[in-house]
Structure 1
Amino acid sequence: MIGGALVPRLGWLKHYGGHKAVKDVIAGLILAILLVPQAMAYAQLAGLPPQTGLFAALVPPVLYMVFGTSNYVSMGPVALVSLIVADAVSGGDPAQTALIIAVEAGILLVVIGALGLGRLVNFVSEPALLGFTAAAAILIAFSQLPTLLGLNVERAGDLPTAFSALVGEIANIQTRTAVIGGVTVLVLLLLNRFAAPALWKMGLHPPYRQAVAKSLPLLVIVAAALFATGASGVETVEPVDAALPSVTVPTIDMALWISLLPSSAAVAIIVFVTATAVAKSLAGTDRSHLDTSREAVGLGMGNIAAAFTGGYAVGASLSRSALVEESGAASRVASVVGSLVVLAVLLFLAPLLVYLPKTALAALVISAVFGLIKLADIKNVWSHDRLEGVIIAVCFIATLMLGVRLGLAVGAGVSIMHFLWFSSLPRVTRIGTDDGGKSFRSVSRKDVKMLDEPVLVVRIDRSLFFANAAFAEEQIMERVSRHDDINCLVLDMRSVNAIDASGAAMLRRLCTRLNLQGINLHFAALHAPVEQSLQSIDTSIIGFHRTVGQAMDHCSVGQGDSEER
């Protein structure tokens, strides 16, 4: 029902008790250990003050709890969204730009959910996303290298510009800053790779294993802060006010709002695609309670709320969501508990945050984005289809060379082009039998025999629509032209699930062409909607049959009432 996703479903609270509350409190406390430093680091990535990231982690989980459907999704600042925001804020007022992007992306997501249009984002294919996210990871790492090395380099949205700017300032590296940042990156990468397996071997199991494993990076950041206090010249984060966020209102500048729409659309697509993927991956075998429309509304409401409470655009973090799941969370309350801890940090520990070195937060971002490069998935796609492997490469190169917004647009474009090309070339194959008429398969298969003339049996292996109807007609007539003695053509339509007006017109035209050549056309194994679309054809010159065997029996080929599979 259109608009139904806008109505909160809180019936699950009726069954919420003390046992679940204890689980959620534990999971929320564990989540906050990772959320606090990540929120500050991703805000820095976005070109915003660190407290903006903390503000963005406060209200969105509450809205997601009301409208969302997954028990484990952790909403808050994420790397990909922060990179898109960084690309947009570099040319204007960062606070207003980030606010408008969050509002526009939130509205787009709410509309998508309210109208049930979530399937539209599927036009960005898996190969395109793999190439895009891998390139985005490299861009994120490069954007943080100047901060890691203590350089003052203007932010760039593409790799050539970023690399050129970095090389131009390489002689000005701040040694102390670079050492602290480099060591922090190395230690964090080692912990990401070996901490959890080592703790498992030591006998620590969920939720304690992840609680300890995710506490270690925080300890590394604290250790970096201690070293930075004794090293002059190491830049630390801006002071964070020990107060609640104030209500922020966007400027009324339509030209600015319109100019930011591409960035907002990119944020909305990335947020929705990644969040639904996270929710599905953590839902286990039972995904019946997941509702993508409600997911979109929950994500949209969270972004709008983040904008008006001092934050910026947010998404669903895979690493934090997996942490919530493995920590034993019982409901969406766990993420709200994490937000309450962030609030407590803001109110009571804010003065201490000023000691965190920016280079350590940059190191945290760099160590986290390696998970966006999914080499195993890329290898699987390449093994499956070389053309889709090329799509990965095209999106990867486009994103590196052109930036994230144009890279995502290229990804959507090549995905649609691949779909149209694939759909426009339906497989049309002659079929025969290798078991006396019990089944009919392509004659290209081993041991499948061609049926004797005067009958020709052809199968169409795709739905027919305007883009492929002419090609299918050409392929059918080309096969007919190879045989001078046929008087009957049987079309196996079992794989034609749908047909549009162009497809129906093509079949009517085909019937007329064959009739002029003295060839009778028979349709077999039609789906009911397809058969209804062809009822206007003169039934005196065509036939409709339940099976290929029955069609051949009508053509007097002696196949009886055999069935095909």
Structure 2
Amino acid sequence: MNRLFPGLSRLSGYRGQDLVSDVVAGAILAVLLVPQAMAYAQLAGFPPETGLYTAIAPAFLYALFGTSNHVSVGPVALASILAGDAAARSGLPLMQAAEIVALETGIMLLCLGALGLGRLVNFVSEPVLLGFLAAIAILIGVSQLGALLGLEAERGGTLISMIDGLLAAPGGIDGWTLAIGAAALALLLLADRFAEIVLWRMGVHPPWRTALAKSVPFLVMVLAAVAAALVPNVATVERPPSSLPPISLPPLDPQPWISLLPASAIIAIVIFVTGTAVAKSLAGRNRQALSSSGESIALGAASVASGLTGGFVPGVSLSRSALANESGAKTSFSSAFAALIVLGVLLTLAGPLSLLPEAALAALVMSAVAGLVKWDEIRSVFRHSRLEAAIIVLTFGATLLLGIQWGLGIGALAGIAGFLWASSLPRVTRLGYQEEAHHYRSVDRDEVEVNSLPVLVLRIDRSLFFGNVGRCEDELLRLIAKHPDARCLLIDMKGVNDIDASGLAMLERLVSNLEEKDLNVGFAVLKRPLQRSFERSLELRPCNIYEDVEKGVEAMRAECRKRDRSDVTELMASNRVAGY
């Protein structure tokens, strides 16, 4: 039972002190969660109460199924804009589309977790995610400009359509709305940068320092609501209903489910990849075990619960998860307690919530998405690889210009194509002995000479598969042709971790052709799986295999000397027979 419901295992040894810590952390979480939930609903284009619904049921499901003690599941900017974009494109009623997307996303995540197929999402590479998230941050920011400026702009799925919607919006910029939104944005950015520093200098200690710093957005929303009440024509959110989240059943018509399936698949991938990244980060920080399959099941259950209770697709919030950790939460029950507080706010404070200006919520969204652009990691990729840097740029541009779904799809395909291209170009290099290091090193990289002749040493630096064996064979033959005086070839296989049937066939062909030309072939540093493959090959089985390159060179040199002496003996014998 505990394996199926990891949350139940936390009850074992759960003490009163742990309960107090989780309640306090949950209260701190709720202060940030309430305005964020309404802001992210506005970002998606959904009614404000849907954000609050998304903050309730998913938190309870994650507390039951989740394997992390600090992950906060609920409305997040990334999942919100993805769900809103999918719903807007569907042509269906918004909340009906949102429900289907949440259910489909949840079912996919449940299947991934149950079948242990979470590793499939690893085909979305880190450069693809970096470019995708950077573009999403810009799209989110631009999408909120209408509310910040007091314009009723149409939603768009691309950067160009969003800008066109802003330019075509009726009326003009509302000064008071802009003033309130700009002031809220400035305060939020300043608080994010300096609040904890100021509190530290004031002598406030953790966890209260973190709690107060993260409460600033709530205070800013209160001040914005007061300001909006004092000036005319500032748009505020609709009053949410003071009721429990509604239980709704999805439509039975299969057509909308089929049409929304591609969007749901993309959302499932993004939620799982970003969510497990947050969970792994916190698990490593706290030295806790984490199950990726368990996380997939927990996120899937949370998404299904959200779809059935009037919400949209939830995700894992990095800021709220870090807040739970820093606030002293002992288990994921802290998020469940936060959800209870959100439910209480929904039932009793719906009126005050309707005073929140849309511009302030837009400012809250814009201040939160800055973290989606990971500048340090992007710069690191640009320094590391031009190919992966190009993938970042391609994904970034495709997402901005073609839309979210096309952007991630093109980026994923580009990442796979980049991997296949790099894998199809195996590096084959000549080795020479370096006296200072007492080791064989690359002739091209380490400026050493080919000093092992008559034994020529070549190294293959990549696993061999059908896509690169042709290039590998060409490189081997090209380097062999440079040394016509070589009598033995030693192939260093240290960099070859795997080999398929095409790779074996290439090596068999190479050995057969070279031995016909009186060039003896041996292998060094052959890993155990490759040794088993060689033992099953009739052509490769007779080849000598050496523990390291040094021993291989010595043995093959000795073989050459032995052959030389044998040749001399045979020549002398033949001369005696001829009477010389």
Q: Which TM class, normalised by the smaller chain length?
A: over 0.9
The aligned residue for residue 279 of structure 1 is 279
Aligned partners of 1:422 and 1:414: how far apart in 2? 12
Partner-residue secondary structure (3-state), 1:534: helix
Q: Structure 1 residues 509-518 or 243-252, which shifts more?
A: 509-518
Contact 1:552 1:559 in 2 (8 A): no
Can you list the C-alpha shifts for 1:198-242, whole angstroms capped at 9, x where unaligned?
A: 112222222111111111111111111111112222221112111
The aligned residue for residue 85 of structure 1 is 83
Can you list the C-alpha shifts for 1:477-520, whole angstroms capped at 9, x where unaligned?
A: 11111111222111111111111111111111111221222211
Alignment of 1:46-445 (within 5 A): 46-90=44-88, 91-169=91-169, 172-285=172-285, 287=287, 289-435=289-435, 438-445=438-445
Partner-residue secondary structure (3-state), 1:518: coil
Can you list the C-alpha shifts for 1:178-215, whole angstroms capped at 9, x where unaligned?
A: 22112211221111121122112222222111111111
Partner-residue secondary structure (3-state), 2:557: coil
Aligned partners of 2:159 and 2:171: how far apart in 1? 20
Contact 2:460 2:496 in 1 (8 A): yes
Partner-residue secondary structure (3-state), 2:39: helix
Partner-residue secondary structure (3-state), 1:431: strand
Q: Structure 1 residues 383-392 or 415-424, which shifts more?
A: 383-392
Shift of residue 293, structure 1, vs aligned partner:
0.8
Shift of residue 549, structure 1, vs aligned partner:
2.6
The aligned residue for residue 543 of structure 1 is 544
Partner-residue secondary structure (3-state), 1:66: helix
Q: Structure 1 residues 371-380 or 311-320, which shifts more?
A: 371-380
Contact 2:151 2:172 in 1 (8 A): yes
Contact 1:432 1:440 in 2 (8 A): yes
Aligned partners of 1:372 and 1:50: how far apart in 2? 23
Aligned partners of 1:382 and 1:433: how far apart in 2? 34
The aligned residue for residue 571 of structure 2 is none
State the one-letter code of the partner of 1:467: G
State the one-letter code of the partner of 1:555: M
Partner-residue secondary structure (3-state), 1:27: helix
Aligned partners of 1:328 and 1:466: how far apart in 2? 53
Stretches of structure 2 that go unaligned for 5 or more consecutive residues are 562-580
Q: Structure 1 residues 490-499 or 428-437, which shifts more?
A: 428-437
Q: Does 1:491 align with 2:488?
A: no
Partner-residue secondary structure (3-state), 2:494: coil
Aligned partners of 1:520 and 1:324: how far apart in 2? 65
State the one-letter code of the partner of 1:97: A
Contact 1:185 1:367 in 2 (8 A): yes
Cα distance, 1:7–1:345 mapped onto 2, change above 3 Å = closer
The aligned residue for residue 577 of structure 2 is none
Aligned pairs, number: 558
Shift of residue 258, structure 1, vs aligned partner:
1.1
The aligned residue for residue 563 of structure 1 is none
TM-score (norm 1): 0.95
The aligned residue for residue 31 of structure 1 is 29
Can you list the C-alpha shifts for 1:104-137, whole angstroms capped at 9, x where unaligned?
A: 1111111111111112212212121111111101
Cα distance, 1:334–1:325 mapped onto 2, change above 3 Å = same
Shift of residue 265, structure 1, vs aligned partner:
1.1
The aligned residue for residue 450 of structure 2 is 450
Contact 1:28 1:338 in 2 (8 A): yes
State the one-letter code of the partner of 1:76: G
Aligned partners of 2:558 and 2:165: how far apart in 1? 76
Shift of residue 21, structure 1, vs aligned partner:
1.2
Contact 2:108 2:268 in 1 (8 A): yes
Aligned partners of 1:135 and 1:17: how far apart in 2? 45
Contact 2:452 2:553 in 1 (8 A): no
Aligned partners of 1:498 and 1:144: how far apart in 2? 50
Contact 2:511 2:540 in 1 (8 A): no
Aligned partners of 2:19 and 2:500: how far apart in 1? 54
Cα distance, 1:467–1:12 mapped onto 2, change above 3 Å = same
Cα distance, 1:341–1:126 mapped onto 2, change above 3 Å = same
Aligned partners of 2:548 and 2:187: how far apart in 1? 66
Shift of residue 6, structure 1, vs aligned partner:
5.0
For the aligned residue pairs, the C-alpha RMSD in angstroms reads 2.0
Match of 2:18 among 4, 17, 20: 20
Contact 1:6 1:114 in 2 (8 A): no
Aligned partners of 2:41 and 2:165: how far apart in 1? 22
- Which has the greater radius of gyration? 2
State the one-letter code of the partner of 1:556: R
